[in-house]
Amino acid sequence: MTPIYLDYNATTPIDPAVREAMLPYLGEWFGNPSSSHAQGRAWADAIEDARGQVAEMLGAAPSEIVFTAGGTESNNLAILGTMTREASSTARHVVISSIEHPATIAPADFLERQGYAVSIVGCDKSGTVDAADVRAALRPETALVSILHANNEVGSMQPIREIADACHEQRTLMHTDAAQSAGKVPVRVDDLAVDLLSIAGHKLYAPKGIGALYVRSGTQLDPVLHGAGQERGFRPGTENTAYIVGLGVAAELITNGLAEAQQHMQAMRDRLHAALASAMGEGLSVNGMDAERLPNTLSVNFPHIVGQELLERTSDVFASTGAACHSGTTKLSATLAAIGLDESTARGTVRLSVGRHTTAKEVDRAAQSLFAAWRELHAAS
Ligand SMILES: Cc1ncc(COP(=O)(O)O)c(C=O)c1O
């Protein structure tokens, strides 16, 4: 039987329409968008079309979109690009949260090693950062706040607008990592009032290795890479035209179909939860249950068992765990630690994330498989 993929927060497949649009740029027809002849101009036009499609998805102007190689690069460009401009000033303080992806934590750690100050704001037990805590962490010398829009593990959404408003009461820029939220909920830069926003292609049915950074007009940013000046100098290097075209089409699919996809994913996620809860009774708890959550994410704690063993036994379900268990010790992910999950509960955490084409049949089969494996493991423990 075909395995049931419930790991859409890890990555999504490439949508057939996206692949179709990319193919001409991967065949015999080739060009460098910087060439001034007609072939080069055609490739440059394709990039500008895609820029318009991504901008439309985000409610931005096309000139505010910079193509990158994915979510990690977008976050690095936003964080390092902002802070290196401040290298010789006193504004050398950055604020992040305790539930960031490593693509934010690592550049912040890097800055700290270079002598910048970094503050980490915690969250409540449902995985939500309080805007008042961010406000309290702001200092006159805070140049940037970077807080993700939706957490990748528990799916909790963050009060980005409120945080951005607090930042803008002083000279502080606001960046949000929207790698998980784009394509699942509306992500509009003016509603969020952010200065910088990252997206990752492979979370929204475009390929891996492509992404974008929204840079609000007028925002001062240094490039991280230095080269020939493509992407208005923010991201030099010959453009990955095929993938940029793919990201554009993926964005257009979202612009046209988000409401339906959001509703469908939520229905599938809730069906999965209901099926597991009715089989298992009260033993099953859900992380982030009290938070406003992504419509597709269900982070569940299977009691008395180890999530990793459960997924090994459930070979027809592909999902992720939240804690790594090695020789009797458990290492919680940063997010599970931040929400205060105890070690024994976190051992049983499994992140199930549905996609826009997940079916009710798949969800029902997955719930049965997971429950059967849980029962066997529990009986053997
Ligand atoms: C919240 C978040 N930010 C950033 C990334 C990194 O994106 P990419 O894999 O495109 O570098 C991910 C991917 O897991 C993510 O979930």
Burial of 168 from C-beta contacts in 10 A (0-12 / 13-18 / 19+): middle
Same domain, 25 and 97: yes
Q: How far is CA 132 from the centre of its chain?
A: 23
- How far apart (Å, rounded) are the C-alpha atoms in residues 49 and 337? 43
- Domain of residue 271: give its range: 4-10+258-380
Q: What are the tens digits of pLDDT across the range 31-44?
A: 999 999 999 999 99
Q: Any idea what the CATH number is for the domain that residue 274 is in? A: 3.90.1150.10
Q: What are the tens digits of pLDDT across the range 212-267?
A: 999 999 999 999 999 999 999 999 999 999 999 999 999 999 999 999 999 999 99
Is residue 72 within 6 Å of ligand 1 at its C-beta? Answer: yes
Whose Cα sits closest to atom 5 in ligand 1? 71
**Are 156 and 336 spatial neighbours (Cβ–Cβ below 8 Å)?**
no
**Are 47 and 334 spatial neighbours (Cβ–Cβ below 8 Å)?**
no
pLDDT bracket for residue 206 (50, 70, 90): very high
Percent of the chain predicted with pLDDT > 70 = 98
Is residue 200 within 6 Å of ligand 1 at its C-beta? Answer: yes
Out of 147, 148, 152, 294, mutate this one to test ligand 1's pocket (max ligand atoms within 8 Å of CB): namely: 152
Same domain, 250 and 316: no
Same domain, 102 and 223: yes
**Are 318 and 185 spatial neighbours (Cβ–Cβ below 8 Å)?**
no
Is residue 333 within 6 Å of ligand 1 at its C-beta? Answer: no
- Total domains present in the chain: 2
Q: What are the tens digits of pLDDT across the range 271-315?
A: 999 999 999 987 899 999 999 999 999 999 999 999 999 999 999
Given 197, 225, 254, the domain boundary residue is 254
Per-residue DSSP letter, 183: T
The pLDDT, as a whole number, for residue 327 is 66
- How far apart (Å, rounded) are the C-alpha atoms in residues 244 and 235? 13
Given 254, 289, 306, the domain boundary residue is 254
Same domain, 248 and 330: no
Same domain, 41 and 97: yes
Q: Active-site residue among 106, 325, 334, 337?
A: 325
CA of 39 to the centre of ligand 1 (A): 34
Same domain, 226 and 302: no
Out of 96, 97, 99, 101, mutate this one to test ligand 1's pocket (max ligand atoms within 8 Å of CB): namely: 101
Q: Any idea what the CATH number is for the domain that residue 234 is in? A: 3.40.640.10
Same domain, 268 and 196: no
**Active site annotation includes 325:** yes
pLDDT bracket for residue 111 (50, 70, 90): very high
Region 367-374: mean pLDDT is: 97
The pLDDT, as a whole number, for residue 283 is 85
Same domain, 196 and 341: no
Same domain, 217 and 314: no
Given 223, 254, 285, the domain boundary residue is 254
Region 98-110: mean pLDDT is: 97
